[in-house]
Amino acid sequence: MNKTSATRFLKNEALRLGFDFCGINKAAFLEEEASRLENWLHNQMHGSMSYMERNFDKRLDPTLLVPGAKSVVSLLYNYFPLDEQPQDAELKISRYAYGRDYHQVIKEKLRELFDSIHNHIGEVAGRVFVDSAPVLDRAWAKKSGLGWIGKNANLINPKNGSWFFIAELIIDLDLDYDNAIKDYCGTCTRCMDACPTDAIVKPYVVDGSKCISYFTIELKDSIPSVFNDKYNNWIFGCDICQEVCPWNRFAKPHNHPELINENNLRQWTERQWEELTEDIFKDLFKESPLRRTGFEGIKRNIKFVTGNKS
């Protein structure tokens, strides 16, 4: 199979497996991102996420992750839900956490895609990645023409907005490459204006150590009191900068059953969350993104929000 035919097959197969968009770029050092990442780390914008400091070179050079790599295949998987929590919900969780842990869901599909490549194209070496390895996924998706990086640092697709998980295949197969598209944020600053903790310190730069998602998921210590009354009822993650983005008016609900809110979390009351026990947490959320913060983390977040309601 020649390069163009292989590219066409791979993209069609990705769509068949449920991915919404697929773009490809040459596996090479990310020169444009090197200084940005270095400055971001130097300014301590990663907070207590020490893992961001590790594997600096690997984050920038995919050939260090997959020797002989020729292509980075970027894929988008829609998670925008049909049924959402009301804006005045007593306690909120990010939309991406409504269903099963996306790491598991997407890795299964990536393995299927890899198997199809082997069966139809031939022996190909590589690895699959879903937000759990030193890969700058948004940078690769941007280079592959799947969208531009918005002022809130999210990838924005011009057809469907930003409610996507990003995944990659890094492989030693030479393919046809896509081109980046232009930035369409223009003069809009809605995401910056709406952020209650001022985490978007300037266009395209997010101080992770000020982000509600960081406090409710990554931070293991107590939440600083300076952020009292700024949480807007979020106890796991935060979607504010995406909710206000004009491009998300084009978002379409996904049709992935594994991401559907089986526990009906969007309708949980404050009392239900407060009465959550560790045993019930472990049972209900054993395959959920909420497992990441743990029972004690969720209870801390609930206490912080309910104790600081004005």
Check: CB of residue 79 under 8 Å from CB of residue 19.
no
Catalytic residue among 131, 174, 193, 229: 131
User: pTM to 2 decimals?
Assistant: 0.94
Percentage with pLDDT > 70 across the chain: 99
Three-state DSSP class for 164?
Answer: strand
Give exposure, 68-88, as e/b (b: 16+ Cβ within 10 Å): ebbbbbbbbbbbbbeebbeee
Give strand pairing partners of 138. Answer: none
Amino acid 86: pLDDT: 73
Check: CB of residue 165 under 8 Å from CB of residue 76.
yes
131 among known catalytic residues: yes
What are the pLDDT digits (tens) for 200-243? Answer: 999 999 999 999 999 999 999 999 888 888 988 999 999 999 99
Check: CB of residue 20 under 8 Å from CB of residue 79.
no
Amino acid 131: pLDDT: 87
Higher-pLDDT residue of 275 and 260 is 275
Amino acid 308: pLDDT: 66
Give strand pairing partners of 205. Answer: 202
Amino acid 136: pLDDT: 96
> What are the structural domain ranges in the chain?
3-80+101-171, 190-307
Site of tokens 């790599």: 69
Average pLDDT, the chain: 94
What are the pLDDT digits (tens) for 133-167? Answer: 899 999 999 999 999 999 999 999 999 999 999 99
What are the pLDDT digits (tens) for 8-35? Answer: 999 999 999 999 999 999 999 999 999 9
Amino acid 90: pLDDT: 87
